[in-house]
Structure 1
């Protein structure tokens, strides 16, 4: 009998193009993926992968099995959802993918609420910095995803997901306390075009957002430092080496010597929770969406630094 976990591994390789990408999606090691594939070859009696340079290619037999696997795994997911719905209680694993500021700003409160409301639910968080959870939610690799929809990078919505708006988040500019504009509650974007910037790394949404914002003003941002985490950005702002554009959600306590101001025109993003339509019948998904919504309301009540 074919093992569902091994079929899921094969499908991940077929979908994401490599053993390493499949391992990232499945949150296992590459050696675990290779071991699953060897066992699947033994089960089927067919060679499924061949070496190609530094990667692997799927054989025709593997490609056939991967196409069937999508249907098999889909039916298994539907059966699991229907059985969960009969229980009328939220139990078992629930996987949630989120971008970093949502993982920091929304999910801790959500997990606390779920521990109170659904103690038999096992929530597993996957922070996703550069890739949207959208495709993984559509494929069923994630139960829920938290995505951000910017005016300049709108989400191309499809019929493969349902969504619920959690909140609208505004950007702020972080400045050294001694900066000439630090005492201003609101700063016009055109006043910042010549400033040195501390940005998140390339490929990140916040980096692209800074480029878009400055180019809208007819200027190229003077990015002096590129760092991965917002706390590091703020530490550099505190050192007086530049400004940073930061979202309010997940901003956290400011280090000494840092002030934040609102920006005009306002820079905003919409934050949604998304799920696959067939998973909406699962009590675990329904209770998690409610907890996310409640956690976001609590977050929205926090004072802006």
Structure 2
């Protein structure tokens, strides 16, 4: 009999590439993961892994089992969702991963509404960088993620994830009067000579901003970096440079500088994601519906 938990470890290995990364993601030791995968091989009766240098890779049989395991795990999610639907109330625990601006602008309203509708439900919230949230969702660390996708990025096609767009979040230049004399700067290229304030290298927002600047004919001179968008905003409004920020930043934060809307009208897409098979779980359906309602209300009062 194939063990469900060990099959999940095999699926995680196929996604993450190394036993060490699987161990880190699931808070196990590497030796524990290796032992569990060895037991799965004994259960399967065929080699699932082969040694390649210091690493392991899936055999053809291992790849075959991963494909079946993904389907089995989705069926388990559907079974759990169906069982939850037989209850007359929504109780238990739900773990949510989100990014900074969504945590500030959307989550408080969601928590308030859920506490009124379902007082016996416990919500756990963690701020997670969006570029790592999906893998944490797939590993079962979270039940729902609020994610973001910057302009120009391909729509992710992550296996085993049900993703739904929530709203478009416009991106605009944010700049103090010091760098916008006589309001004569209107296009991205007009800020080629200004110091830039961006997220650190490797972040999707940074990749997009640099790509957009290069398309406008210049390489941005990045003077300041921070993953905290409120830090970017504060540095910009105190005149230390120019930045590109999504409008969601301004929910609960009063802007003190100027906006420049670009002709291309770039938007960051905000979405929800759950594991495939869990999308009919009543609490996740309710959370998604409330997120739509909260998002619609904030759109009506956007800056």
Query: Shorter-chain TM-score: what band?
Result: 0.7 to 0.9
User: How far, CA to CA, are the matches of 1:64 and 1:157 in structure 2?
Assistant: 20
- Shift of the 48–124 alpha-carbon distance from structure 1 to 2, 3 Å rule, reads farther
Compared CA separation, residues 271 and 121, structure 1 to 2 (3 A): same
CA distance in 1, matches of 2:184, 2:300: 19
1:269 paired residue number? 268
**Runs of 5+ unmatched residues, structure 1:** none
In 2: Cα distance, 1:104 partner to 1:277 partner: 27
Q: CA RMSD in A?
A: 3.9
CA shift at 1:288, angstroms?
Answer: 0.7
Partner of 2:86: 86
1:19 counterpart residue number:
19
TM superposition shift of 1:241: 2.7
User: Is the CA contact 1:186–1:263 (under 8 Å) kept in the aligned structure 2?
Assistant: no
Alpha-carbon contact 2:49-2:62 (below 8 Å) kept = yes
Using the TM superposition, give the Cα deviation of residue 150 of structure 1 relative to its aligned residue in structure 2, in angstroms: 4.3
Q: Is the 8 A contact 1:9 1:37 kept in 2?
A: no
Q: Distance in 2 between matches of 1:6 and 1:268?
A: 41
1:113 aligned residue: 113
Q: Which residue of 2 aligns with 1:259?
A: 257
Aligned to 1:250: 249
CA–CA separation in structure 2 for the residues paired with 1:53 and 1:273 = 39
CA distance in 1, matches of 2:10, 2:276: 24
**1:289 Cα deviation after fit:** 0.6
Q: How many residues align?
A: 298
Could you tell me whether the CA contact under 8 Å between 2:233 and 2:243 is conserved in 1? yes
Deviation at 1:63, TM superposition (A): 6.2
Aligned equivalents of 1:23 and 1:125: distance in 2? 23
Matches of 2:51 and 2:254, distance apart in 1:
50
